[in-house]
Amino acid sequence: MRNDEVVTEEHPVDGTAGHGTRASDEELMRALYHEHAGPLFGFVLHLVAGDRQRAEDVVQETLVRAWRNIHRLDPAAGSLRPWLVTVARRIVIDEHRSARARPREVDASALELLPAEDELDRALRMMTVADALGDLSPAHREIIVETYLKGRTANEAAAELDIPAGTVRSRVFYALRSLRLALEERGVTS
């Protein structure tokens, strides 16, 4: 038998022994509530640092446990308040231990601000390509920007850069080869 149980003797769980009728058990619970709920709430409120909702939940759980064990409680043995206080204190301790054993919950709303996986992968690829472009010569970088990033044809790039179209095609070939090597150095394979 535990210390938090006020009983005179063990009774069957079916409630047939002990106090007798269901009506007398209900009267005992009403009396228990009216006599002890207020002071118990004040005690528990102190234990849970003023959290009224949590205190109400603990008092409710304490009274539910009293109801479940009503066939074992003996109101003639004296006040049941020490038993109720012990049960309430143990509920608070169990909740505290349970909260410490479980990882702290975080607000997931910040995750909604992160780009989707596809956007993140694309951003990482673009950063890697931009870094690799920095390794190219200015002429090769310029031709890649004009043809691939700005989407110009060889003739349009030639007109924009004021160089022959054949030179544009030659530079694109060598620039892409240099860019491929720069990306391979960064671990990017095709």
Q: Looking at residue 79, what DSSP letter applies?
A: -
Looking at residue 145, what is its pLDDT? 92
Are the C-beta atoms of residues 18 and 72 closer than 8 Å to each other?
yes
51-to-21, 44, 101, 128, 173 alpha-carbon distances in Å: 37, 9, 21, 52, 71
Are the C-beta atoms of residues 92 and 44 closer than 8 Å to each other?
yes
* pLDDT per residue as tens digits for the range 138-149: 999 999 999 988
Looking at residue 2, what is its pLDDT? 45
DSSP string, 107-174: -GGGGGGSPPHHHHHHHHHHHHHHHHHTTS-HHHHHHHIIIIIS---HHHHHHHHTS-HHHHHHHHHH
Least confident of 53-57, 109-113, 164-168, 179-183: 109-113
- Percent of the chain's residues with pLDDT above 90: 31
Q: Compute the average pLDDT of residues 19-34.
A: 73
Least confident of 16-30, 33-47, 106-120: 16-30
Looking at residue 140, what is its pLDDT? 95
pLDDT at 45 over 80: yes
Q: Is 0.85 topped by the overall pTM? A: no
Which residue did the predictor score with more confidence, 104 or 170? Answer: 170
Mean pLDDT of the chain: 80
Looking at residue 29, what is its pLDDT? 78
* pLDDT per residue as tens digits for the range 87-120: 999 999 988 888 777 676 777 777 677 666 667 7
- Paired tokens of 180: 């491929």
